[in-house]
Amino acid sequence: MTRRIGLAIIGLGPASLPHSKSLLDLAERADVRFAVSRSPERAATYARDFSFPTSTDLDAVLADPSVDAAIVLTPPSSHLEVSRRCLEAGKHVLVEKPLELTSARGAELVAAARATGKVFGVVLQHRFRPASLRLNAALDGGELGGIEAAFLQVPWWRPQAYYDEPGRGTLARDGGGVLLTQAIHSLDLFRSLVGVSKVVAAQARTTGLHRMETEDYVSALLETDSGAPATLVTTTAAYPGHPERIEIIGTKGFAALVGGRLELSFLDGRKEVVEAEGSTGSGANIMDFPHDAHRAVIGDFLDAIVEGRDPVVTGEEALASQHLVDAILKTAGWPAARGTGG
């Protein structure tokens, strides 16, 4: 059996829950040496739920030769600093979305990772859902024919209490609003499926349902790589929250990906359904989703380390999705578009 890969989880906020559950499932392949937080209180709270050894000393963790790789789950504003420290210590890195606060900082992180030659991946787990994989295969195999039109809708909900937490919905901590923080998963999946070559028009605003610095509503007219029109609508003001939706009109059929459920309807009368694994975190409970896709992301990361290859979602792929966020906000003339700088 291949040696278990020594891992450190860095950052023990809400995002650590699906990752930690996944690592329990992957215990035959992954050996969690440390779960790290700057906060002793947060580390103690985490230790009540998971048996992984905790630490508040990141320097000591990175100096430990038994740690081969790090999963970075700290706030986006710290991704560049923390990930670079891990890379310079000779560790492979898997970092939570978004890549960084801005595309410029994201590009700096991607370049730093490439310079070390270490495996570097980004957690954009919607690509790993069974329904997403099937839709990708249907498009690649020409089952739906040419793309004639596409639609992306993310009608999510976040209560004001969510944005009242320190830093939530700010440029300084999150780097952006609904596009970069919530809809980035669906936007990245959509871009990977149909490609987006142009932002034709866009609107962005903060609705009266929220008090926050960044946007909670964005709509856009896009053009896919094939030249077909596409429409995007994303928000965190659609109470009580509804599953994200991707629809693709092809010359041979129609695809509707709603949350994690896919329905393919072909012009020859055939139908195919891939059922969802569970909820998608579209409402007030942001962790209301199964951890299956996170487990698949981590599994791919471990495979990439063993096989000496890139993971499915590279830094460059995540950066391309962040550039699309920038382009939409710039087209909308949204003030937060200034966050695309360094």
Range of the domain at 111: 5-125+294-312
Specify whether 225 is located in the same domain as 283: yes
Amino acid in position 341: G
Specify whether 213 is located in the same domain as 280: yes
Segment 110-145, tens digit of pLDDT: 999 999 999 999 999 999 999 999 999 999 999 999
- Percent of the chain, pLDDT > 70? 94
Is the Cβ–Cβ distance between 56 and 37 less than 8 Å?
A: yes
Predicted confidence band at 263 (pLDDT cuts at 50, 70, 90)?
very high
Give me the mean pLDDT over the 251-257 stretch: 98
Specify whether 240 is located in the same domain as 302: no
Tell me, what CATH number does 76's domain have?
3.40.50.720
Predicted confidence band at 340 (pLDDT cuts at 50, 70, 90)?
very low
Q: Is 290 helix (H, G, I), strand (E, B) or coil?
A: coil
Specify whether 217 is located in the same domain as 255: yes
CB proximity list for 121: less than 8 A, separation 6 or greater = 93, 94, 95, 297, 300, 301, 304, 310, 311, 312, 313, 314, 315
Name the residue among 191, 296, 297 with its Cα closest to residue 246.
191
pLDDT at 342 over 80: no
Q: Which residues pair with 7 in a beta bridge?
A: 32, 69
Structure tokens at 253: 């059929």
Region of 3 on the Ramachandran plot (φ > 0 left; ψ -120 to 50 alpha; else beta) = beta
Amino acid in position 266: F
Neighbours of 210 (CB within 10 A): 22
* Cα–Cα separations (whole angstroms), residue 145 to 61, 122, 148, 263, 267: 51, 30, 9, 16, 10
pLDDT at 281 over 90: no
Segment 31-55, tens digit of pLDDT: 999 999 999 999 999 999 999 999 9
Length of the chain: 342
- H/E stretch holding 332 reads helix 315-332
| pLDDT computed for residue 76 by the predictor | 93
Specify whether 121 is located in the same domain as 134: no
Number of domains in the chain: 2
Specify whether 194 is located in the same domain as 256: yes
| pLDDT computed for residue 276 by the predictor | 83
Specify whether 281 is located in the same domain as 300: no
Sheet order of strands, 5-10 included: 54-55, 30-36, 5-10, 69-72, 92-96, 120-123
- The percent helix, strand, coil of the chain (3-state, each to 5) is 40, 25, 35
Specify whether 38 is located in the same domain as 110: yes
Tell me, what CATH number does 257's domain have?
3.30.360.10
Q: What is the pTM of this model?
A: 0.93
Specify whether 211 is located in the same domain as 334: yes
